[in-house]
Copies of this chain bind each other. A is one copy, B any other.
Amino acid sequence: MTTTEPTGSAPRRGRGRPGYDQAAILRAAVELFNRKGYDATSMGDLAKELGLTKPAIYHHVTSKEQLLSQALDDALDELTAAVTAATGDRAGQTAYERLREVVRRSVEVLVAHQPTVTLLLRVRGNSGVELAALERRRWLDDRLAALVADAVAEGALRDTVPPALVSRLLFGMVNSLVEWYSADGAYDPAMLADAITVIAFDGLAKHAA
């Protein structure tokens, strides 16, 4: 960012060229990919959305798949940072504490990077780019499953449900955020993380104290 251009996704009003940069085109592309699906979105759709012609898009971007790749990298980089930050061996922290922290950090990433994470969670493996993203996702899932298994072994979590199943259901709940969360909604990230950890770890039911 060396220019004084506005960083918002909307073109400047009035005279002159809209002046999109690569980041603004990527944001618009991700929004369309999520709304219509990647395959159902044509580069013509993207051009119309931006008020450009199709060839004009290719002035900023080399391919449709490059847009997908950059979006998936954004999500994966953020999620990897969240997981490694929370799962690193930190003196005096139990696996249970680290698990609660990785849930909280994951929620924060889902909220802050909702568009790209949404796209990531819908990847089917239809291309090399998608298969590479799925591989990075699997690495994250394995880390999370290992952390849950540690927390069970530690005696912090109930052992009546298989750890692998717990991990899938817990992060299934976390990931479901992307289906309905919108930044302009009433929920703030800290409150969401609290709600999820309360439901998952303490349960919904009021128990006779």
Q: Give A residues with C-beta under 8 Å from B.
A: 35-40, 96, 122, 124, 126, 155-158, 160-162, 165-166, 168-173, 175-177, 179-180, 187, 192, 195-196, 198-207
Contact = CB atoms under 8 A, between A and B. Distances in A.
Nearest to A161: B195
Given A37-B124, A37-B126, A180 B168 contact: yes
A202 to B, nearest CB: 4
A179 B7 CA distance: 36
Given A126-B37, A126-B40, A176-B176, A205 B168 contact: no
B157 A168 contact: no
A204 B180 CA distance: 24
B176 A172 contact: yes
Given A172-B179, A176-B172, A200-B199, A158 B206 contact: yes
Interface hub of A126, A165, A169, A201 (most chain B Cβ within 10 A): A169
A41 B205 CA distance: 44
A198 B156 contact: no
B199 A161 contact: yes
A198 B166 CA distance: 10
Contacts of A157: 204-206
B173 A172 contact: yes
Nearest to A124: B37
Nearest to A203: B203
30 contacts: A36-B124, A37-B124, A37-B126, A39-B40, A156-B205, A156-B206, A157-B204, A157-B205, A158-B198, A158-B204, A161-B204, A162-B195, A165-B187, A166-B195, A166-B199, A169-B173, A169-B176, A170-B173, A172-B177, A172-B179, A173-B176, A175-B176, A176-B176, A200-B203, A200-B204, A201-B203, A201-B204, A202-B203, A202-B207, A203-B204
